[in-house]
Structures are given as structure tokens and as C-alpha cells.
Amino acid sequence: MALPQITLPHGYRWRTLTKDDQRLVTELDTWAFPSGLAHDDIDATPSPLTWERAIAIEAEGFDGLAALHASYPFRQFPVPGAELPTAGLTWVGVHPQHRRRGLLTAMIDLHLARSVERGEALSALFAAEAPIYGRFGYGRAADDLRLEIPRGAALRDVPGAERHTIRLEVATREKHGELVDRLHRAAGAAPTGIPGINRPGWATRETEELQAILWDDSPVFREGRESRRIMIVELDGEPRGYVTFRRTMNWEPRGPRGRVHAGEVVALDAPAARALWGALLDLDLTNEVTPFVLPVDDVITNLLVDLRAAVPRTPDNVWVRLVDVAGALAGRQYAADVDVTLAVTDRQLPANAGAYRLRAEAFGGASVEQVDPEFEAPDLSLDVRELGAAYLGGRSLAALAAAGLITVHPRPGQPANALARASAAFGWPIAPGSSWVF
């Protein structure tokens, strides 16, 4: 497929990539993200890339690649009460010799143009550095929770947890791939068991490449940790949840100080979650459990008697950009009835700029109509970046307005507060978040 016409700075040209370019990609990638690993070791592991979505930049008189970006084709990216085709921007890197010349800017323009062509209403990403992507219309849409939970930390009781049993095995795709995929999807589709109330941002590994990298267990990437293990919680022989983990050992004068590095902690209901966490917090020779990323409202926040002792931190998780504002607004559900007109600015995608009247029923259908702001005065004015931040339901429009990032236009004689109503509608009962970094 021909690339859309996006101009590069003088002396640079676009280059498509195939899997035969793996070494070039590794060389550029280790310039952008310093790594002590040998290139042969990196190339021996599966690549997560969907090659036809990986685009590089070459420079005149320069060996190798000057820059690279790619995206994952998420066809079912969860948004509040629905799923939307989404381009998961990833592997963005510019060789340090070519930085700050506008190559990232050109790559984002190309990425957005291709996303429009493919009909992807959203783009989502994890940011290597938080200040990079706001200028391109991405909003910080979700946070995640990092914990360091002391071994044996007291947990609240949940009736029925005691009926569960625990199985511990070495994790392999052959044995656990189907189970993990099924439970992960089910936990994202209905984290509270209420049909339709999903976890926005809970991306699944939709491609074969993403499945392959998930299960790869090359020793060079383990950093002294053991091979990947899995703990499965069962009720009457039926799997109800799992956690993947690796332990490290540390013998200190006061005794063993091992650590459990938990990958993904997933359970279908509260009793299963209580049983799983109870077992995870009770592994011999360890004194701490560090889950990788958890949703900020994960059940563990309410099960732990002393959350403070687990030193909670909440860095940014998924960033979201609306590629098609009308399609994205109509493509999610809302938590309250709403009728609001939004005036949206968008520097990179001017076709998005305009006024949109959004009408939706709580947890039902939504419709969006582009209107003439001359005749239909907007209630709120905001940039596409703020819309991205609020889109998954994890960041309140009212809080963004309180920070001066959204302008509210009061309507004379209308008592209802459009900001409060829109804020309630854009929220969602379950916090957004992805359980893995893409």
C-alpha cells in the first residue's frame, strides 16, 4: 500500500519494513532505548511487530535507520461499554544523531493519516516519557497502580474464597495460552460480573506476534529471575483466575528476602481474587510481592487492610487520541443521560475540529451530529487532547475544567450545569487500564 504524502525534513525518506529488516530495527531500537543485550539475543526472540504497520526513515549518507515507528492493529480495543478499532502506536524511536529535527512529528502525522485511512477511530499508546505525546493530541486516559505488598499482608475476608484451590505450574503457551487468553478477556469484559460494564483500555493480545512475545521466556530477558510460573485458582476444578510470576532470591543476614514479581493478576470474581491474592502473598522465602501493573481500582485496593503499607503509586497507563472524533464519541457508552455540545480543536487533524452535539442514554445508544456553532452554541470547548484524557472514563471533565483545560460556556436561563452532567456521563463505573504495556 502506498504511504500517504507526509513531507519529511530535507535529506530524509520513508522506508517500509519487512521481517528481513529485523537487524536494522534492532540496531535503531538499541540506539533509541539503550540495552546491554547482544543483538543476536534480541533477534533470536520473537518480534511483536506487525510488519506492514512498521515504517522507518532513512537519511542520506547515513548507514542504518534514522527513525522507526509501528502500530498494533487492535480491532477490539475496549472503550466504555463497547470496542473500537484502534491503532496501538509503539516502537517509536529516533536515532540520537537525528533527534529534534522533526522526525517524530512527521511519523505521528503519517501514523494518524494511516489510522484515518484504515478507519481506526482511536490511537492508544504507552509513553516512554510523559511529556512527549500531549502535543500530538494524546491525553493521559488511564493510570495504573504499582504496589510493593509485604508478604503476609492482612486481607479482608470474602465469603466463598475458602472453597477455591490453587495450582502452581511452569507457564507455557502450549499448556496455558488458551486459559490465560480466555480468562483475561472475560475479566476485561465484565470485571464486576455486570454484563456490559467492561474495563476500558483492557487491551488483549490480538495478533499472533503479540501472543508469541507474551509467552517467550528467553533467559537473556529474565534479569536473574526464575522462569515464568503461573498460579491458577480453581473452583471445583474450573479455572477462575491466574497470576503469572517470577521469583528472585536474596539471602540476607536477617534471613531470606525473596521477591515475587507478579505479571498479570486476573480473577473472574471476588472469592477467586481473594483466594489468589492470599496464596500469592504467602510464598515461602519471599518478603514482598510486586505486581507489575494493576488497575487503580483493582480488588486488592479494597482487600488490603493496610493499603498504605504497600506504598501505592499511580503512574500513567494508556494514552488515548481520538482519530475520528464523531466516530469515537458515538462509539462508546455513557454512564448518564446526556445532551451536550462540544467545540473541539485539533491541530494535527483539522478535519476533526468543529462542534459536536452528543446525545446519549445512560448505558445505551449514543448519537453524534456535527453542528454549526453559530446556531448551536457549545456548552464546553476543549482540545482533542482533553477529550482523549476523558474518553475512557478515567479522568473527569470537571477536573480538567478545574485545571483550566476546558472552557465552560454557561447558557443564560438554563439551570442545568452542562459540565457536571457531561462529567457524570463521560465517567464509567470501572477504572480504565491495560494489564500489559504495549
* Neighbour-count burial of 257, counting CB atoms closer than 10 A to its CB (0-12 exposed, 13-18 middle, 19+ buried): middle
Query: 258 labelled as ligand-binding?
Result: no
Residue with cell 446556531: 375
93 binds ligand ACO (CB under 6 A): yes
Query: 94 labelled as ligand-binding?
Result: yes
Backbone angles phi, psi at 238, to 5 degrees: -100, 125
Closer residue to ligand ACO (CB): 89 or 322: 89
* 288 neighbors 260 (Cβ within 8 angstroms): yes
Query: 152 labelled as ligand-binding?
Result: no
Alpha-carbon distance 61 to 15, whole Å?
Answer: 15
Closer residue to ligand ACO (CB): 106 or 397: 106
Q: Assess whether 136 carries a catalytic annotation.
A: no
Alpha-carbon distance 243 to 241, whole Å?
Answer: 7
Length of the chain: 438
Collapsing DSSP to helix, strand or coil, 142 comes out as coil
Which CA distances in Å does 347 have to 163, 184, 380? 56, 37, 18
Q: Distance between alpha carbon 183 and the CA centroid of its chain, in Å? A: 18
Q: State the virtual CA torsion across 236, 238, 241, 247 in degrees, nearest 10.
A: 80
Among 74, 91, 202, 242, interactor with ligand ACO by CB under 6 A:
91
Q: How far is the CB of 438 from ligand ACO (least distance, A)?
A: 9
Annotated catalytic residue, options 74, 133, 242, 426: 133
Closer residue to ligand ACO (CB): 92 or 243: 92
Alpha-carbon distance 312 to 32, whole Å?
Answer: 30
Draw the binding track, 307-346, toward ligand ACO (x: CB under 6 A; -: no contact). ----------------------------------------
Alpha-carbon distance 213 to 232, whole Å?
Answer: 21
Backbone angles phi, psi at 129, to 5 degrees: -130, 130
Query: 380 labelled as ligand-binding?
Result: no
115 binds ligand ACO (CB under 6 A): no
Q: State the virtual CA torsion across 107, 112, 114, 118 in degrees, nearest 10.
A: 150
Q: Assess whether 438 carries a catalytic annotation.
A: yes
C-alpha cell at 65: 535507520
- Name the residue among 72, 69, 67 with its Cα closest to residue 54: 69
Which range touches ligand ACO (CB under 6 A), out of 90-98, 167-175, 262-270, 390-398? 90-98
Query: Rg of the Cα trace of the chain?
Result: 23
Query: 102 labelled as ligand-binding?
Result: yes
Query: 93 labelled as ligand-binding?
Result: yes
94 binds ligand ACO (CB under 6 A): yes
Q: How far is the CB of 24 from ligand ACO (least distance, A)?
A: 15
10 binds ligand ACO (CB under 6 A): no
437 binds ligand ACO (CB under 6 A): no
Draw the binding track, 177-216, toward ligand ACO (x: CB under 6 A; -: no contact). ----------------------------------------
Among 25, 48, 87, 101, interactor with ligand ACO by CB under 6 A:
101
Q: How far is the CB of 312 from ligand ACO (least distance, A)?
A: 24
Query: 101 labelled as ligand-binding?
Result: yes
- By CB under 6 A, the residues from 11 to 70 that bind ligand ACO are 32-33
- By CB under 6 A, the residues from 119 to 148 that bind ligand ACO are 125, 127-129, 131-132, 135
105 binds ligand ACO (CB under 6 A): yes
Which range touches ligand ACO (CB under 6 A), out of 40-48, 93-101, 309-317, 398-406? 93-101
Query: 17 labelled as ligand-binding?
Result: no
Collapsing DSSP to helix, strand or coil, 370 comes out as strand
Q: How far is the CB of 296 from ligand ACO (least distance, A)?
A: 21
Among 8, 17, 103, 281, interactor with ligand ACO by CB under 6 A:
103
Query: 311 labelled as ligand-binding?
Result: no
Q: How far is the CB of 30 from ligand ACO (least distance, A)?
A: 11
* Neighbour-count burial of 104, counting CB atoms closer than 10 A to its CB (0-12 exposed, 13-18 middle, 19+ buried): buried
Annotated catalytic residue, options 74, 356, 426, 438: 438
* 332 neighbors 427 (Cβ within 8 angstroms): no
Alpha-carbon distance 377 to 296, whole Å?
Answer: 36
Alpha-carbon distance 153 to 280, whole Å?
Answer: 10
Alpha-carbon distance 161 to 273, whole Å?
Answer: 8
Enumerate the active-site residues.
133, 438
Enumerate binding residues for ligand ACO (CB under 6 A).
32-33, 89-94, 99-105, 125, 127-129, 131-132, 135
Q: Which residues are annotated as a binding site for acetyl-CoA?
A: 92-94, 100-105
Q: Which residues are annotated as a binding site?
A: 92-94, 100-105
